[in-house]
Copies of this chain bind each other. A is one copy, B any other.
Amino acid sequence: MLTSEQLHDIVKSALTVVELDNNPVELYQPITYTLNLGGKRIRPVMVLMACEMFGGNVQTAINPAVAIEIFHNFTLLHDDIMDNASIRRGKPTVFKKWNTNVAILSGDTMFAIAYWHLAKSESKVLHNVLSIFTKAAIEVCEGQQYDMNYETIDNVTVPEYIEMIRLKTGVLIAASLKTGAVVANASAEDVDNIYKFGECVGLAFQLKDDLLDVYGNEVTFGKQIGGDIMTNKKTFLYIKALQEAKGEDLSALKKYFAITDVDRNEKVGAVTEIYNRLKVKEAAIELINEYYLSAQFYFDALSIDKERKTILKKYSDNLMNRDF
């Protein structure tokens, strides 16, 4: 079996040969820029990994893997406009480097290019792969809408937040694993279990992301610390803090999450102090561990030899315990 590093290299090579040397350059330059920003390539690696785990030929999974990675990068590109984010992976976002119109249109084109690669999937799995991909794409958009809604709603609950990140992050990781399994002709039960496993990993992964956005290291994380706080995002940390806060902490939290025109150091510093006092970091870690255990449950149910499973186990453990 190939290692995760080897699968990562296959993804990297496959992305390098994506044909983007087209006209008009104004459209394709931002796409090349976006795909060259790098990133962890988690989703395409997971497509290939699931395919291998179920005894499929990795070559037949490359096109859907590339499609999912291009789609994922498209969503980041459009999300950055909507979130008014200036930095992505340590570099200026497309809408900041170019402009909003360029970002909208090159994003749209990436979405179409993703389908171009998906359409090259083998005929016998095309229908299935297309449905998995498209359902995930729609759900990712729904998740992003909830995310935006929650910016202006005061009383978002933890379950509402969890459903939002399931849609925004969980389903695409789940769909990646499911796609690999489907390409490898896995049983319906295994396909179902690996999808649920992926959802749990995705949820844990996103909660970890929330955590790193406040408690991470700017250099290894590749984003400005406190971005979620600055844009008044109702992350798990905020929702949990709001639930626990009393007196001055409560009014300070509410005050800071009602304004945007404020010094970055002041706001991020003050909110982080409140988070520290209310131990929301610890609550997040606890919830991450819960999803970790659920993921384990679905993982154990997969009807394949333990040694074939090791690679995905190691890879997903690493994701849930990362500091980058």
Binding site for B on A (CB under 8 A): 22-24, 26-27, 75, 78, 81-82, 100-101, 104-105, 107-109, 111-113, 115-116, 119, 123, 126-127, 130-131, 134-135, 137-138, 141-142, 144-146, 148-149
Task: Report B-chain residues with C-beta under 8 Å of the C-beta of A126.
Answer: 126-127, 130
Task: With A101-B82, A104-B104 as known contacts, state yes or no: A23 contacts B119, CB within 8 Å.
Answer: no
Task: With A115-B115, A126-B126, A130-B119 as known contacts, state yes or no: A108 contacts B23, CB within 8 Å.
Answer: no
* Cα separation A145 to B27 with both chains bound (whole Å): 6
Contact between A101 and B148 (Cβ–Cβ < 8 Å)?
yes
Task: Report B-chain residues with C-beta under 8 Å of the C-beta of A105.
Answer: 78, 82, 141, 144-145, 148
State the 10 A-B residue pairs at the shortest beta-carbon distance, nearest first.
Answer: A27-B145, A112-B137, A109-B141, A82-B101, A119-B130, A24-B145, A112-B138, A115-B134, A116-B134, A108-B141
Residue of B nearest to A83 (CB): B101
Within the complex, which residue of B27, B119, B142 is in contact with A142, where a contact is CB–CB below 8 Å? B27
* Cα separation A127 to B145 with both chains bound (whole Å): 31
Least distance between A165 CB and chain B CB atoms (Å): 14
Interface-central residue, A24, A126, A137, by most chain B CB under 10 Å: A24
Task: Report B-chain residues with C-beta under 8 Å of the C-beta of A75.
Answer: 108
* Cα separation A81 to B107 with both chains bound (whole Å): 14
Q: List 27 A-B contacts (CB under 8 A).
A: A24-B142, A27-B141, A27-B142, A78-B104, A78-B108, A81-B100, A81-B101, A82-B104, A100-B100, A101-B148, A105-B145, A105-B148, A108-B141, A109-B138, A109-B142, A111-B111, A111-B112, A112-B138, A112-B141, A113-B138, A115-B115, A116-B134, A123-B127, A126-B126, A126-B127, A126-B130, A130-B130
Contact between A26 and B116 (Cβ–Cβ < 8 Å)?
no
Least distance between A6 CB and chain B CB atoms (Å): 30
Least distance between A220 CB and chain B CB atoms (Å): 30
Contact between B112 and A134 (Cβ–Cβ < 8 Å)?
yes
Task: With A104-B104, A130-B130, A131-B119 as known contacts, state yes or no: A26 contacts B149, CB within 8 Å.
Answer: yes
Least distance between A157 CB and chain B CB atoms (Å): 15
* Cα separation A127 to B26 with both chains bound (whole Å): 30
Task: Report B-chain residues with C-beta under 8 Å of the C-beta of A148.
Answer: 26, 101, 105
